[in-house]
Every structure is written in C-alpha cells, then in structure tokens.
Amino acid sequence: MKVIKAIYNFLVGDMIILVGILLVVLLLALIANVAALSPLRVISGPILISRIYSSNFMPIHLSLQRGGEAC
C-alpha cells in the first residue's frame, strides 16, 4: 500500500508542476501577443520567475501538509 501511495503522490506532484508551468507559458504568451496586455511586458520576467518558483514548491508544501516527507 505504501508503494501505491508513493507512486500516486509522485504523479500528483508532477502534474501540479506541469499544469503550473503550462499556465505560466499561456499567460506569458497572452502578454506577448495581445496588444491590450503589452504594458505588462515590463513585469513578464518577475511573473515568470515567481510563478515557476511557486509551482515547483507547491507539491512539497502539499506533501508536508499531509504529514509526508519533503523529499
């Protein structure tokens, strides 16, 4: 049972990271291609860094909330 739970937690963590990165890429593509959002191009770098950082550490946070180990 522990093996199944470990595999499940691994897959869910990877999916959270993948979805987070895809959302960031879509947001940055909208900022780059929609004229109304062009003023946001100035902060697209900080948006990219902060969102990738948060999406990569969200699975660790969720694991710790469930009482699991961080790594």
**pLDDT tens readout for residues 20-31:** 888 888 988 999
pTM above 0.95, yes or no: no
Identify whether 13 is part of a domain. yes
Q: How many domains does the chain have?
A: 1
Residue 10 lies in domain: 2-65
Question: Is the pLDDT higher at 3 or at 52?
Answer: 3
Identify whether 43 is part of a domain. yes
Place of tokens 């969102």: 51
Angstrom distance (rounded) from CA 9 to CA 18: 14
Identify whether 41 is part of a domain. yes
Angstrom distance (rounded) from CA 35 to CA 58: 32
**pLDDT at position 26:** 93
